[in-house]
Amino acid sequence: MTGNAGVPVRQVFADYDYKSQEPHGHVNRFCSRCGSLNNRLPSGRGIQSICSWCGFVTYRNPLPGVSILIEHEGAVLLGRRIPGSFGGGLWCLPCGFVEYNEDILGAARREVFEETGLTVELASIIQVTSNFLTSDLHSIVTVFLAHRKEGALQPGDDIDALEWFPITGPLPPLAFEADGEIIRRFGAMKFEGLAIEEPTT
């Protein structure tokens, strides 16, 4: 599939055959409400974990994440992931998971600040992706375009180096396939993306 500028478009990134996997794997063995053993029973959508005592159904869903493309004078900011993290030593857009008590906009601003020391203005949503990274790590990531406001570059959290790279490449080795796709597509098309709520302070 190609987009309206002939640039390849993808939303699904999978490092394994996720459709053939048992969705609960080794997790959800016990009921999250009463602690009894769950039964694994077939249902319309595959295998469900249903409590053998109280009948409570435990669902397993992908983790919601955010990723932020910070553009500055034709460059994009990438961070190098610390050894021992997923994709350690490889580079990525600032990113992370949304906490239960925050919204996606707050999560994006927080992750940027924690990993880069910058405060940013979120400009738009430029992509949403399904990332099947491992059989235990499936995320759905909203990707924002952002512009720097203030702060000095200071790597933090699971990032140990920060560097600006030309948005049209070449890019360093990336931890997530989706990041390369997002940066290449944005560099080629420079689209505005989907407008978002007015930034809050």
Binding residues for Zn ion, rule: CB under 5 A, are: 31, 33-34, 36, 51, 53-54, 56
Closest to Zn ion by CB, 43 vs 101, is 43
The dihedral formed by the CA atoms of 125, 179, 121 and 75, expressed in degrees to the nearest 10? -130
Closest to Zn ion by CB, 36 vs 168, is 36
Tokens at residue 124, please? 């738009």
Closest to Zn ion by CB, 51 vs 145, is 51
Match 């490449």 to its residue by tokens.
169
Element (H, E) at 177: helix 177-189
Peptide bond into 170 cis (omega under 30): yes
User: Contact at 8 Å (CB) between 120 and 70?
Assistant: yes
> CB 39 → Zn ion: shortest distance, Å?
10
> CB 143 → Zn ion: shortest distance, Å?
38
Closest to Zn ion by CB, 58 vs 168, is 58
Tokens at residue 139, please? 């995320």
Closest to Zn ion by CB, 14 vs 34, is 34
> CB 27 → Zn ion: shortest distance, Å?
16
**Closest Cα to residue 160, out of 99, 59, 84?**
84
Residues with Cβ within 8 Å of 154's Cβ and at least 6 positions away in sequence, in order, are: 116, 117, 162
> CB 52 → Zn ion: shortest distance, Å?
8
> CB 31 → Zn ion: shortest distance, Å?
3
